[in-house]
Structure 1
Amino acid sequence: MRLALWQTQGFPGDVAANLQALEAQVRAAVASGAQLLLCPELWLGGYNLPAQMAALAEAADGPAAQRIAALAREHGVAICYGYAERHEQGGKPYNSAQLIDAQGRSLANYRKTHLFGPMERELFTAGDSLQAPVEFAGWRVGLLICFDVEFPENVRTLALAGAELVLVPTALTPEYTAVPELIVPARAVENQVFVAYCNHSGVEEGLAFLGGSCVAAPNGQRLVVAAGGEALLVTDLSRANSAQWREVFPYLQDRRPALYGALTGD
């Protein structure tokens, strides 16, 4: 699979401008041969906009989703993007990520389960479950969002459910360089999956982002890494050496689940 990650500052608070910018990136991704384009966490409306977040929230099948689905169909590429999802019962919105395939169909809509810090916990309703991996282009694909990937249990759960690729829209600030440099490659190795981690760039309403988007392979290698600015990363994912790497890093096959009961205790 050829995968593209769009690291961007975007247009905080301006959904129409973000959708217009997306069209240009879709064209660039398709020109590179990409089958899937990954955007950052809360990309659609912006991350650091607490006063506007509820107003920016849309339904999973709302106007923006319909426009993104139309772009996916028109250009023949799947798109995974972060957005504020309107709560179905009028509560605080969800911090969500949706994967739309090249036919414009929603394959997955995941709600962030591990909210980070006081601002997110004040603004959002936490998702209450991990979502099973979905089939895309012959791959089993799972979704997480930012802080979620920092919990080993989340990626392990997806891997045990058959995930081969985990997509992670994120909004990471510069003090957390250990996440893309150490944690993301570790999650890839210990679970024998590819992990695609797509961050914001620049500064949004005074909040600086690290950039550093990357894709980590099951051997721990980061196949592509962005610096701090706007970037479109493109890389190929291959299962060619999967069996070899599972022998080198046999964590899944050598597990002893009977010993780990305390991990799920209160």
Structure 2
Amino acid sequence: MKANTLNIGVATYTLRNLPTDAAISVLQRLAIKTCSLKDSHLPMKATPDELKAIVAKFTAAGIMPLSVGNVGMKDEASMRAAFEYAKASGVGIMVCAPPLNSIPILDKLVKEFDIKLALHNHGPEDKNFPTPYEAYNAAKGFDPRIGLCVDVGHCARAGKDPAKAILDCRDRVYDIHLKDVSVVAPNGKPIEVGRGGLDIPSILKALIAIKFTGNVGFEYEKDAKDPVLGLAESVGYVRGVLKTL
């Protein structure tokens, strides 16, 4: 697999304070071709027709939504509502943060709705899935449609090597949140990709090694009210690294 075949995209949580049309314009300016849609752009309360229309707007702009989320879940009713939302959108992967004891229920729902789940790790503050390994261990033994969204920054803050985690969990990695942190420690803060402590080349090499075809989505969290310059720098850095691999 060639490096330039990775789907270098954006998790639209990055652009959560921008209206949908403005977010699409930013992605077009950065030549981004894939994305993961957050509910700030794909509202949970939208009707099925509205959801399809929003997805179609991104697709018409040359941006393919490959996943939705992150979607929070608390109980079986909220899980079912989330699956109905994802199914109505027509996007086949849902990034989510469910309770640890909910996997048997999710196993039933992925079979019913035929949607892949990507359990998101949220770092040392997360009691359920601090790293991809807890998510992987929870999912294994259940339907293979239950997989992972590896958040590389939170993974590193929780003390695990993101590249190794991608390789170790390769059979269930369905989505990536790409970012950098100021220091590789629990108190690491969001920063432009390439300025921080993560070994970004090793992460990209791991994704190439597993022939990853999902969204490698920048989740740039440093400047919520003015994210475009930092996102553009991050995109440029990663594209430069990919040319050397």
TM range (shorter): 0.3 to 0.5
The TM-score, its normalising length taken from structure 2, stands at: 0.46
TM-score by length of 1: 0.44
More helix by share: 2
Q: Higher strand proportion, which one?
A: 1
Higher Cα Rg, which structure? 1
